[in-house]
Amino acid sequence: MTVNIENLRYAYDKKGNETLLDIPRWNIAKGEKVLLHGPSGGGKSTLLNLISGILRSSEGKLEVMGERLDKMNERERDRFRANNVGYVFQSFNLFPFLNAYENVDLSLYFSQDAKPKGSKQEIENLLSELNLSKSDCAKPIRKLSIGQQQRVAIARSLIKKPGLLIADEPTSSLDEENRNQFMSVLLDLINEQDTTLLFVSHDLSLRPHFNRAEALAGINQGKTN
Ligand SMILES: Nc1ncnc2c1ncn2[C@@H]1O[C@H](COP(=O)(O)OP(=O)(O)O)[C@@H](O)[C@H]1O
Ligand SMILES: [Mg+2]
């Protein structure tokens, strides 16, 4: 089991009585590919931030890859995330003045595993597998096309071979061609590495790529607007 949730509750306003998330039970099996969808403001990003340990809930059980995130302090969660969770954002969050190698390498730098899971050679191999030429990889990110940038973002999120990849609406600013390309390179790598995927999108045309689609409202009993 990669994600195991029991009676998880979360509210930004601790004093108020509005619980944003109240999830009695939700699981993601190892290797599963799950599409999570729902209206904007419903709490999807909040749930992703809990599962990756950016936010912490003190109520309920949240187990990710066998570790109880709800029982960890911030430092332990940061370490857990650096070693086990890859993240792809809507805006990719790459460093615009660094090149592709440097952007991917930074992700390894933050991973504090005694035995790093990627080397310089692996970075080069991964980027070339994603069809990024050596000369493109040497350019600052801001000089790459959006399609190239998204491939760098995929490389950065997967270089550590994380057990879990979380993607928060990574395709929402892409045109159809870039979106199809994004999905195909992402899924090729995910399948190759046997990574569990939790992917948020409101684009239900992506459904065939996943084992399961879940509406947040179907698992969450908390207040949603
Ligand atoms: N850091 C924050 N502090 C307070 N409220 C927040 C914060 N982040 C999100 N929210 C609120 O929580 C709700 C859910 O937001 P979010 O998880 O981003 O939803 P979604 O990703 O489904 O659009 C929204 O009402 C949003 O305004
Ligand atoms: Mg969101």
- % helix / strand / coil in the chain, to the nearest 5? 40, 20, 40
CA distance 14 to 116: 38
CA distance 108 to 94: 14
Supply the residue whose CA is at minimum distance from atom 17 of ligand 1.
43
Region 201-224 average pLDDT: 92
- Tokens for 162? 């994380």
Which residues place a Cβ less than 5 A from the ion ligand 2?
Answer: 45
The backbone torsions φ and ψ at residue 108, rounded to the nearest 5 degrees and listed phi first, read -70, -35
CATH T-level assignment (fold) for domain 74-195: Rossmann fold (3.40.50)
What is the sign of the dihedral through the CA atoms of 150, 151, 152 and 153? positive
- Closest ligand to residue 51's CA: 1
Give, for ligand 1, the residue of 21, 45, 89, 168 to mutate: max count of ligand atoms closer than 8 Å to Cβ. Answer: 45
From-to residues of CATH 3.40.50.300 in the chain: 74-195
Ligand 1 site, CB within 6 A? 12, 20, 40-46
Has residue 114 got a pLDDT over 60? no
Q: How far is CA 128 from CA 85, 91, 108, 132, 185, in A?
A: 23, 22, 18, 5, 12
Q: How confident is the model at residue 173 (pLDDT cuts 50, 70, 90)?
A: confident
Nearest ligand 1 atom, CA 169: 21
10, 14, 20: which to mutate for ligand 1, most atoms within 8 A of CB?
Answer: 20
Query: What is the band of 117 on the pLDDT scale with cuts at 50, 70, 90?
Result: low
Average confidence score pLDDT of the chain:
91
Q: Which ligand is located closest to the Cα atom of residue 46?
A: 1
Report the Cα 180 to chain-centroid distance in Å. 18
Residue 135 C-alpha to ligand 2 middle, in angstroms? 34
33-83 pLDDT, tens per residue? 999 999 999 999 999 999 999 999 979 999 999 999 999 999 999 999 999
Token look-up 């080397």 returns 119
